[in-house]
Amino acid sequence: MDPSANLLSPRKKTRQIHIGDVAIGGGAPISVQSMTTTKTSDVDATLAQIYELAAAGADIVRCTCNDAAAAEGLAQIVPRSPVPIVADIHFHHEMALAALEAGVHGLRLNPGNLRKESEIKLVASEARDRGVPIRIGVNAGSLHPDIAARFGGATPEALVESARIELAYFEEVGFSDVKISVKASSVALMIAAYRLASECFDHPLHLGVTEAGPPPGGLIKGTVGIGTLLAEGIGDTIRYSLTADPVEEARAGRQLLEALGLRERKGLDLIACPSCGRAQVDVIAIAKEAQAALEERSLPIQVAVMGCVVNGPGEARSADLGIAAGKHKGHLFIRGEIVRVVPEDQMVEALVEEAERLVAEGVEARLAAADSRAAEEAEADRRSLLEETGTDPNAAAVKISHIRSRYAS
């Protein structure tokens, strides 16, 4: 993990369970989950999506099991899946039993939809005998009417109470291999509910803002809710619930954990300046082009695209690799040290080439191979640019002077 993770609140210690070979809670790495959108009975299509999700960063994938055909599909999917499979159960306990027969690695039960105590206990007993964990998946939108009436609606206390009642049923049959979620579409309600759940349970918690909607709004809601709790040390698995290709969910989850330093970086992290009056190139266009080219190569490094050589290499010193624009030139730097100067029209090409070499050879080797004249050339460009633009590249002082002379009373 990234050392920056130590700056977050310590993670709450929870019990550990295993979904297949993925450890959950008990100090295990936080895992990313997503859900297929295919018909589970369509085995080939579902497997294709599972492989896409795994490639995008999903550690666990959930599939709906809403009828016998879906259960039969799971029996073929589970042994061929690259990641553990959880069956999603809503209204029919028979489907949970069928999913267990199919060999799934976990179940998700919604206590607001599957309400009969005898059926819940039967499923828990079967899961106990097979060593299969269950997630108690409470959802504010499908809260049991009796609980909602008792608490005056979907309050944090109501969501946690729903999970507590379900957990009590499990405990009566000696089943404790449990993960809990208390999701809501309201970010504020979701955060409050998970904070309370973290105080009430020592079981691992699965985080998510349910029905967050399409990007970018859904991404913002999910990031605020999940990120807030992770920063507080709460949460053991996560899922972005987006109205989009589920691959976007897996990718977002992985990126969030990497950004917080909670998982080792496996993909590209591209940072870029917002641009200013000094910028000699179209930073937005170059950043997009660089991101597209580098993401294709799945390089696990941080890359910076900076608008000018005046401050770029220094501001992005922590990046593994970067490029800053000069006068019709691009200045490649590694950890803030200029290593090459290239023509402006070759900036992205040179960045990709250097990124591949950096991953293959390492930082020290690439610094040792630096062009000895690059730093001197970059400094000359930096001074020249400063002379042209001064220390006020956006001409704020001139604008203020004009405002004062024309509009001040």
| 351 phi/psi in degrees, rounded to 5 | -65, -45
What's phi and psi for 33, nearest 5 deg? -125, 150
* Torsion 25-26-30-32 (CA) sign: negative
Considering the domain 3-259 in this protein, what is its CATH number? Answer: 3.20.20.20
**Residues above pLDDT 90, as percent of the chain:** 67
What are 19-44's pLDDT values in tens digits?
999 999 999 999 999 999 999 999 99
Residues composing the chain: 409
Look at 317 and 83; give whichever has higher pLDDT.
83
Domain residue ranges of the chain, discontinuous segments joined by +: 3-259, 269-389
Comparison of pLDDT for 158 and 300, the residue scoring more: 158
Q: Which alpha helices (H) appear in 115-155, and where do they start and end?
A: 117-130, 145-151
- In this prediction, residue 7 has a pLDDT band, given cuts at 50, 70 and 90, of confident
Between helix 187-200 and helix 217-231 the angle, nearest 10°, is: 30
Residue in the block written with tokens 């979701």 = 190
- Kindly state the tokens that stand for 354: 């250097």
CA 251 to chain centre: 6
Name the token pair of 278: 């000094």
Q: If you compute the radius of gyration of the chain from its CA atoms, what whole number of angstroms results?
A: 26
What is the 8-class DSSP label of residue 344? G
SS3 73: helix
Cα–Cα distances (Å) from 52 to 29, 80, 176, in that order, read: 21, 14, 32
Residue 167 in this model has a pLDDT that exceeds 80: yes
Using one digit for the tens of pLDDT, what is the confidence trace for 368-409? Answer: 998 888 888 878 877 777 776 555 555 556 677 767 777 765
pLDDT tens-digit profile of 193-249? 999 999 999 999 999 999 999 999 999 999 999 999 999 999 999 999 999 999 999
The residues that bridge with 137 in the sheet, in sequence order, are 181
Rounded to whole angstroms, the Cα distance separating 39 from 87 reads: 13
- What per-residue confidence (pLDDT) applies to 273? 79
Residue 384: its pLDDT value, please? 76
Least-confidence region, from 53-62, 175-184, 301-310:
301-310
Residue 33 neighbours by CB under 8 Å, 6+ apart: 58, 59, 60, 61, 62, 86, 206, 237, 238, 239, 253
Backbone phi, then psi, for 269, in 5-degree steps?
-120, 105
> Within 10 A of 274 (CB to CB), how many other CB atoms are there?
8
Residue 248 one-letter amino acid: E
Q: Which of 200, 74, 79 lies closest to 89 in space, CA to CA?
A: 74
pLDDT score of 171 more than 90: yes
Closest by Cα among 115, 116, 98 to 107? 98
Cα–Cα distance measured from residue 91 to residue 65, given in angstroms and rounded to the nearest whole number: 10
**98 CB-contact burial (10 Å; exposed 0-12 / middle 13-18 / buried 19+):** buried
If you average pLDDT over every residue of the chain, what do you get? 90
| pLDDT tens digits, one per residue of 62-111 | 999 999 999 999 999 999 999 999 999 988 999 999 999 999 999 999 99
DSSP code per residue over 150-215:
HHTSS-HHHHHHHHHHHHHHHHHTT---EEEEEEBSSHHHHHHHHHHHHHH--S-BEE-BTT-BST
> Of 91, 82, 129, which is closest to residue 109 (Cα–Cα)?
91
Q: Give the SS3 label for residue 309.
A: coil
Q: Report whether 77 contacts 50 (CB < 8 A).
A: yes
pLDDT over 80 (residue 280): no
Closest CA to 275 of 311, 303, 320: 311
Q: Please, what CATH class does the domain formed by 269-389 belong to?
A: alpha beta
Q: Considering only 57-66, 184-193, 341-350, which range has the smallest mean pLDDT?
A: 341-350
Number of H helices and E strands in the chain, helices first, is 15, 15
